[in-house]
Amino acid sequence: MAEIFRHNSIAAKRRADYLGQRGAVIWFTGLSGSGKSTIAYCTEKLLLEDKIFTMVLDGDNLRFGLNADLGFADTDRNENIRRISHVAALFAQNGGLVIVSAISPFAVDRKTAEHISFTAGVPFVEIFVDAPLEECIKRDTKGLYKKALSGEISHFTGISSPYEAPEAPAMTLHTVDSTAEDSAQKVYDYVKMLAELEEMTKAAAGLAVAAGKTIMDIYNGDFAVEYKDDTSPLTAADLAANTVICDFLKERYGQYAILSEESKDDAKRRANPGCFIVDPLDGTKEFVKRNGEFTVNIAFAYHGKSVMGVVYAPVLDKLYYAADGLGAFCQSGNAHEYFSEKNRIHVTDKRSNLTVMASRSHAGAEHNALLEKNKAKIGETISIGSSLKGCLIAEGKADVYYRTGLTCEWDTAAMQCVAEQAGGVFMQGDGTPMRYNREHVLNEKGFFILNSIDNKFE
């Protein structure tokens, strides 16, 4: 059998520069009659009017040609989504904005679609078009639900075949109380945010380095240590870095909210779809100990998902950064050579003899018991402070980190994006997705970071 090779003469970044746009896959999932196709075509119209090359891949249309040989049994549904996913990723990889409208009822198939896009290096945005079954039945102009309920159609999603709603989609559109035009506008806004994400990441990276210089000026001198109500330390470096970061973000990106550890929280932030999440000095205990294991963390969450993350370690002069669909990178802080392939990082593929990260200042009995229970999987354990733990996993220098104690949104948002865009897994301690810009900022369930879900500890 002849060998098969991938061919692509023009790099994705250069192609995006030529076209003036980046490709992405916008994946609409929901019951038949929920409004997916209507919203998809409304969104396409908005984007085309803005001169953004866009196409809709509608599940029904594809069954007339590409998928005409497939039925509706589970195995055929799996293959249907696999084919659509590859077509969408190919178009997106070549600069197209692809809107997929497909019921895609099974979570595992949507995860496959996401992985295919990730491998192709394009953003994947899962959008749940949410309408109750009763409402979809009312809208049934084709009479499909009536036939399914009478037994004339088998394997019909929502009636004789299950629909698995997304646990943490990038966006949920409630079509009972919103028009198709309003929903399309929200999707359009998401696409426009993705378009500015690369420049936003570069700006945040430069900002983190600038804040790091401010921190180092204090670190290299004498400083006093105060203590907050929760007994955590506070220094002039925390406050000075916070001023540098928040002043810039307010001036440059004033349309978005800010949640920072060292600023008074404003509940109005939750009404904003976009929120910067900032820890101006993550690892203040390590700063006070002068061991160099502290970082500047800047993340951006959109509809609760961390889509941009920057982590800078001033003493090490190491800059980690990532953006949804662009990947994760590590370089010297002052290199200014952003998104270069030579700086791309990725998690390891190890499944045994794992390198486990441990917190320098926050390990406890529950954490130690978990490591003891899984010691057969562990090769070595490394202790280090701040968000560097997640970044080392992203960089392939470690494989697993479990945190059983309390943290806050600003502790995890930036390194989550870095770890995920490097191919890693980042979940709450109970295995559910971690979301941001919440009412309560505590991460109460703990979390874990893995190079692969196969290495989840029991």
Catalytic residue set:
104
Q: Locate 407 and state its tokens.
A: 């943290």
If you ran DSSP here, which 8-state letter would residue 159 be given? Answer: T
Nearest partner of 233 among 366, 369, 361, judged by Cα: 361
Contact (CB, 8 A) for 171 and 128: yes
What is the rounded end-to-end Cα distance, in angstroms, of the chain?
42
Strand-strand pairing, 257-260 and 274-282: parallel
Contacts of 279 (CB under 8 A, 6+ apart): 260, 261, 295, 296, 297, 387, 410, 411, 414
- Residue for token digits 């006093």? 224
Q: Which residues sit opposite 55 in a β-bridge?
A: 98
Residues 322, 311: Cα–Cα separation, whole Å = 9
Nearest partner of 113 among 142, 135, 80, judged by Cα: 80
Residues 399, 350: Cα–Cα separation, whole Å = 8
Residues 304, 165: Cα–Cα separation, whole Å = 17
Backbone angles phi, psi at 332, to 5 degrees: -65, 145
CB count in 10 Å sphere of residue 321: 29
Contact (CB, 8 A) for 198 and 325: no
Q: Locate 213 and state its tokens.
A: 């210089």
Q: Locate 118 and state its tokens.
A: 């990730």
Residue 355, classed as helix, strand or coil, is strand
Long-range pairs, 136-140, Cβ under 8 A, ≥24: 136/31, 136/32, 136/33, 136/34, 137/33, 139/33, 140/32, 140/33
Helices and strands of the chain, counted as H and E runs: 13, 20
If you ran DSSP here, which 8-state letter would residue 271 be given? Answer: G
CB count in 10 Å sphere of residue 238: 24
